[in-house]
Amino acid sequence: MTSPQSNLPRLVRACKGEIMDRPPVWLMRQAGRYMPEYRAIREKVSFLDLCKSPDLAAEVSLQPYHAFGMDGVIMFSDILIPPEAMGLTVMFGDGGPTFADPLRSAADIDRLTVPDPVQKTGFVMDILRKLRGELAADPETALIGFAGSPWTLATYMIEGGASKHFARIKGFMFEQPEALHRLLDKLSQTIILYLNAQIEAGAQVVQLFDTWAGILSEAEYREFVLPYHQQIIDGLNRKQAPVILYVNNSRGLLHLMAEAGPDVVSVDHLTSIQAAREIVGSRFALQGNLDPVALFGSPESLIPKVNALLELGGNQGYVFNLGHGILPETPVENVRLLVNAVKASAATSETLTHAPI
């Protein structure tokens, strides 16, 4: 787990458990509305057109990297692109994403296809290829691909958009579990092909986002989430790209995230990194978990939180990140402070290592 492979990007080395002078840092949803550069582009082009224009999407992916120097560049896209390729019509409005034709019956599920990722979502692979070209001069920075996990995608596809009580997907779970399993299985097949195509196109790390798996009980998670995480993780070309698994609201579910066998367990801000390490053990790297709202505070409140997290995370098997995506109202200057503080920890750790005892 710790053999040095220093030609790999810092983020990849951290995912593999290598010891280093400081952890890598990137932020979930780091490209987006908190950046004026992003808002300027969005004034001219709709969100979906942006996702489907490789030049613009690559530019937006690089905006946070150019502004703050994160150690990872996550491709700009959305988790709801594959469901569109499977046959649904997705729309992104001010109230968040919605489907025009949500799944209401087993027959709707059976009509969905498992799309060829290159044929149907070739624009995603074009974005990744462009980004690898742009990052060729900086082999320390990793290109990150991603997908939504089956449960979260199924939630949007069945509810038709954001939901409060998840009554429709739970209805499927209670009344027609076989149909829901068929959907989750189709989604898993789709995501395996999609992520492997991303790896082929140049993604060096991939993250699975399961934003809504945390609404389930442990028994439900074991039946409707874990087998699909396992299926996907087992189906990926892991030699080429380590896998990060993120579940929001994962308190009480972390041992099941570990059971899926990712390289990295991404922890939300409700569980401490220390507690998470005790639960998942040392076989996994951890990612997380600053509260995104901490970025709204003064530098005097933010920096001690960042330093405390650096202390807990340590220099081995740890990726500095937020506990959930960055919020649109986040002050840009605090993002800069955060990234700089993580980077400055390299100097501190060197002083500590070499200081006379």
Residues that bind ligand CP3 (CB under 6 A): 28-33, 42, 47, 74, 76-80, 92, 96-97, 146, 209, 211, 248, 324-325
* Strands, sheet with 318-322, edge to edge from the N-terminal-most edge strand: 72-74, 142-148, 205-210, 243-247, 264-266, 285-290, 318-322
Give the whole-angstrom CA distance, residue 243 versus residue 287. 11
**How many other C-beta atoms are found inside a 10 Å radius of the C-beta of residue 305?**
16
User: One-letter amino acid identity for 29?
Assistant: R
318: its two tokens:
């740890």
The number of residues making up the chain comes to 357
Active-site entry in 22, 29, 194, 246:
29
Read off the DSSP letter of residue 327: P
Q: Please choose, from the candidates 259, 51, 224, 78, the residue with its C-alpha nearest in 3D space to the C-alpha of residue 154.
A: 224
Is residue 283 part of the annotated active site? The answer reads no
CB of 19 to ligand CP3, least distance (A): 27
CB of 77 to ligand CP3, least distance (A): 6
279: its two tokens:
């639960």
Of 77 and 204, the one with the shorter C-beta distance to ligand CP3 is: 77
Is residue 29 part of the annotated active site? The answer reads yes
CB 210 within 8 A of CB 148: yes
Locus of tokens 């009480």: 252
Strand pairing report for 243-247 and 142-148: unpaired
Is residue 10 part of the annotated active site? The answer reads no
Give the whole-angstrom CA distance, residue 311 versus residue 314. 5
CB of 311 to ligand CP3, least distance (A): 26
Give the whole-angstrom CA distance, residue 218 versus residue 222. 6
CB of 325 to ligand CP3, least distance (A): 3
Of 224 and 246, the one with the shorter C-beta distance to ligand CP3 is: 246
Is residue 13 part of the annotated active site? The answer reads no
Residue partners of 274: CB distance under 8 A and separation at least 6: 312
Q: Which residues pair with 303 in a beta bridge?
A: none
CB of 96 to ligand CP3, least distance (A): 4
Q: Which residues pair with 289 in a beta bridge?
A: 321
CB of 266 to ligand CP3, least distance (A): 11
Locus of tokens 């001690």: 304
Give the whole-angstrom CA distance, residue 338 versus residue 344. 10
User: One-letter amino acid identity for 222?
Assistant: R
Of 40 and 167, the one with the shorter C-beta distance to ligand CP3 is: 40
CB of 33 to ligand CP3, least distance (A): 6
Of 212 and 284, the one with the shorter C-beta distance to ligand CP3 is: 212
Q: Which residues are catalytic, by number? A: 29, 33, 42, 78, 156
